[in-house]
A and B are shown apart, each in its own frame.
Chain A
Amino acid sequence: MNLSRITVKPRIRNSHESVDLGLIMAKSWWKPLYLSWFIPAFIFYCMLSIIFYEDNWLALLLTWWLKPLWDRAPLYIASRKLFNDDVSVKEIIKALPKIYSTDIFAWLLWRRFSFTRSFDMPVTVLEAQKHSQRRKRLDTLHQGSSNAASWLTVVCVHLEAIVSMGILGLLMLLIPEEVDVNLMSMMIDKTFIVDFLTNFLTFLSMTLIAPFYTMAGFSLYINRRIKLEAWDIEIRFRNLADTHARKLNFAAVCFIFISFFSISTFSNDVYADDVYVNDVNVRTSAPLTPESSKVMIDDILKGEDFHKKKKISGWRLKDMEKEKSDDEVPQWLIFIIELLESLFGDTDDTEKSKGYTFANLLEMLLWLTLAFSLVYLVYRILKYLDVISPTSKNAEADSVVAPDVLFGLDVRKDSIPVNVIEQTMSLWNKGQHREAIGLLYRSTLSLLIHRFLFEFYHGCTEQECSDIVQQSDNKALKEFVVHITSIWQQIAYAHSIPAEQQIKSLCSQWSEVSNNEK
């Protein structure tokens, strides 16, 4: 048992998982497993069929009874395959008598109906444990796995039945209707040939299932051993020890080489210098900076690997539908015209056609209602999504939050100085006319927003602000705002400086307006 050659992944599995693994094992080694099951069983079955010519069912029953024997050869092969050993046919034939004879009576008598048959079989065949030793061993192995092993047997028994009945059913389906056979009567009073065929079918389904069943049990057994004996750990530990030993060897070889070369270099100064120079070169070569590595990354991204081009050619249908429908009368128009025709076309006076017309009208009405409600729905959705009238909703939203900046002017309350008039006049006297009027206008806006609580929204123009103020009933304020707005617009956009008198009157108006409110 060389664990390093194991062909299944050694890991801790739950019992159902190891059953699955058994199926995979059976699938990948199917050839030797099937052959080693089928050949002895088939020979036996044929011989019995000849002996019990009249009672073919006996042959089948005995072959079925000897299943624990047939299962043993595949098990033996699998135990070798597990460690990547190939078994020759000669070896199997040589080992067969011993494999078949171990504990045979117990297996054919009271253990024949054991639910954990495939799980227990390896203990007999591979470990050759008997009597109390076997019992003890099974007790250890069964912990946590016997349940899955029993269910495995139950499912496989059903599967066998399903396979034979499935094949039989399929064959019956394939009988053409023209062939006149009464299947029921054929199944009930069986002729010899039908009997023989159904028995052989059952034997075949036994063959099909058996290797999977055996391997699933074997896998359960292996899983328990992996768990109990920590195969997974042993494999890794051995590997680690091996690498360590190899490293040690390598280090020893290196040590010999280095000591040999160092002796030779010490005797020659030129070599020593060369080594030194190389060392310095390595150290002074520029380290990777973020920039240089970015260039390198870009270079690599430009390369072939990241730009795969694919040429796809093939036949496909042209878009004929679209071309055709261009110069045709649209379908819905035809529908409407037909509808109108049927409504107001030649009408009989009979009750029936009246009812028909009425039904048509009603139908049209219903369709119209549907169309109307659809349009309305779309309209509501668009409105909700703010596609139809964005400004009204924006204004609503912004009215809650007073803007901080209007047309580039800072109108926050704390950006306005306390002594507006003095500052304005001092700026004016310094000749900074534009700044002076700007300050005054800015203060006015701030006043309007924060004290008079006018609702300006983002994106208001000066004129719009002024218009909003006109809606109030404070006459002095209205006049003042109109006045200052026009003066501001003139100096801001037309660069025309107002007369000093106008500024002074503005200032007095401002103080009047701002004090009035207080």
Chain B
Amino acid sequence: MNQLDTIYLVETPEGIDLQAELAGPIVRSLAYAIDLTIRGFALGIISIVLAFAGNIGIGIILLISFILEWFYPVFFEIYNNGQTIGKKMMGLTVVNDDLTAINWGSSLIRNLLRFADFFPFAYLCGFISMILTNKFQRLGDLAAGSLVIYKQKTKINTALPKCQTHPSPFPLSFEDQIAIIAFTERHDQLSDERQQELADILGDVIQQKSRRIDYLRGIGSWLLGVK
């Protein structure tokens, strides 16, 4: 059964599966709004300063606004790991569609094609394209072969429950191991009743009449390498 998800998978030539979580239009427009605000403020301040310089000042303001509008994202994407300030705040990053870091060519294409996404008004084409493509790509992304993904956070190790560790007496598939580890790690997020309910599902498998939660936590800790 093909389950709906926002995961994007790439297999490297070495046979390693890389995965990334694709970022959709809502969070991306929030990031864009942040960038727009920053640009607006920067331009506002510069304009106030340069307004005293007469016609030359206006010329410089126009030049700066052009550069800000077109090259602000390029600059940040190249020199800040694919993250403009807004993207960084929303935890997003731009990558090539093979999940390598974005390069000059792709970044330029995806940002210069913003005018196509902007058409006819306020990125309407970009929104439609993001909804219709499978990888939430706007037109510029399609042309440049780039993606916007969530930057993976380093996993914070949660405190494991104290219990006696022991290996599993029965074979566990990879997914089962992950489930048992999750059961152990999320011990303080799930209610005790729910944990008991979950542990009771495996009653026949673990063949324990009582203290099933502790028994499963023991296996989970063992899988995580606790001695």
What is the interface of chain A, defined by CB distance below 8 A to chain B? Answer: 6-9, 11, 13-14, 16-17, 19-21, 23-25, 27-28, 84, 151-152, 155-156, 158-159, 162-163, 165-166, 169-170, 173, 212, 216, 227-230, 232-234, 236-241, 244-245
Q: Let me know if A173 and B4 touch, CB within 8 A.
A: no
B226 within 8 A of A: no
Min Cβ gap B3→A in Å is 4
User: Which residues of chain B are near A244, meaning CB under 8 Å?
Assistant: 170, 204-205
Q: Does B30 contact A (CB under 8 A)?
A: yes
For this complex, 24 residue pairs linking A to B, each with C-beta atoms less than 8 Å apart, are A6-B3, A8-B5, A9-B7, A16-B150, A17-B6, A17-B23, A20-B23, A21-B4, A23-B24, A23-B131, A24-B6, A25-B4, A159-B127, A162-B122, A166-B122, A227-B189, A228-B190, A229-B194, A230-B186, A230-B190, A230-B194, A233-B186, A237-B201, A240-B205
Task: Say whether A238 contacts B26, CB under 8 Å.
Answer: no
Distance to closest chain B CB from A166 (angstroms):
4
Interface string of B178-212 (1 = CB under 8 A from A): 11001100100110001000100110110000000
| Chain B residues with CB under 8 A of A212 | 131
Q: Considering the complex of A and B, which 5 residue pairs feature the smallest CB-CB distances, nearest first?
A: A20-B24, A236-B179, A166-B124, A9-B5, A166-B121
* Complexed CA–CA distance, A237 and B196 (Å): 12
A19 is contacted by which of B27, B170, B189 (Cβ under 8 Å)? B27
> Nearest chain-B residue to A248 (Cβ)?
B204
* Residue from the list A9, A228, A241 in contact with B204, Cβ < 8 A: A241
- Closest Cβ of chain B to A158, distance in Å, is 8
Contact B23 A16 (CB under 8 A): yes
Q: Given A7-B3, A17-B21, does the pair A237, B120 have CB atoms closer than 8 Å?
A: no
**Does B25 lie at the interface of the complex (its beta carbon under 8 Å from any beta carbon of A)?**
yes
Q: Is the CB of B23 within 8 A of A8?
A: no
**Assuming the A-B contacts A16-B27, A25-B4, are A240 and B182 also in contact, with contact meaning beta carbons closer than 8 angstroms in the complex?**
no
Most buried by A among B6, B21, B23: B6
Question: Among the interface residues A7, A155, A240, which one has the most CB atoms of the partner chain B within 10 A?
Answer: A240
Chain B residue numbers with a CB within 8 Å of A152 are 26
Chain B residues whose CB sits within 8 angstroms of the CB of A232 once the complex forms: 179, 182
A236, B6: Cβ atoms closer than 8 Å: no
- Would you give the 0/1 interface string for B27-40, flagging 1 where the beta carbon is closer than 8 Å to chain A? 10110000000000
Interface contacts beyond A8-B5, A9-B4, A229-B190: sample of 5 additional A-B pairs, CB < 8 Å, sorted by A: A20-B24, A158-B29, A228-B190, A240-B179, A241-B204
Interface residues of chain B, those whose CB is within 8 Å of chain A, are 1, 3-7, 21-27, 29-30, 90-91, 120-124, 127, 131-132, 136, 150, 170, 172-173, 175-176, 178-179, 182-183, 186, 189-190, 194, 198, 201-202, 204-205
Contact of B3 among A9, A20, A159, A166 (CB under 8 A): A9
Q: Which residues of B contact A151 (CB under 8 A)?
A: 26, 30
Which of A20, A21, A165, A227 is close to B121, meaning CB atoms less than 8 Å apart? A165
Closest to A8 in B: B4
* Alpha-carbon separation in the docked complex, A244 to B207 (Å): 11
B4, B120, B173: the one within 8 Å of A166 (CB): B120
Residue of A nearest to B183 (CB): A233
Q: Which residues of B contact A165 (CB under 8 A)?
A: 121-122
Minimum distance in angstroms from B215 CB to a CB of chain A = 13
Q: In the docked arrangement, what's the CA distance between A229 and B29, Å?
A: 31
**Cβ contact within 8 Å between A234 and B201:** yes
A240 vs B3: C-alpha distance when bound (angstroms) = 19
Cα-based distance from A162 to B121 in the complex (angstroms):
7
Q: Which chain B residues border A229 with CB–CB below 8 Å?
A: 190, 194
Given the known A-B contacts A16-B23, A162-B124, are A241 and B202 also in contact in the complex, defined by CB atoms under 8 Å? yes
CB nearest neighbor in B for A25: B4
B183 close to A20 (CB less than 8 A): no
A14 x B150 contact (CB < 8 A):
yes
Chain A: minimal CB distance from B74 (Å): 24
The minimal Cβ–Cβ distance linking A172 to chain B, given in whole angstroms, is 9
Inter-chain contacts of A245 with B (CB < 8 A): 204
Cβ A236 vs Cβ B194 within 8 A? no
A227 and B182 CA atoms in complex are apart in Å by 11
Which chain B positions have C-beta within 8 A of A227?
A: 189
Residues of A contacting B5 with CB < 8 Å? 8-9, 11, 21, 24
**Closest residue of chain B to A230, judged by CB?**
B190
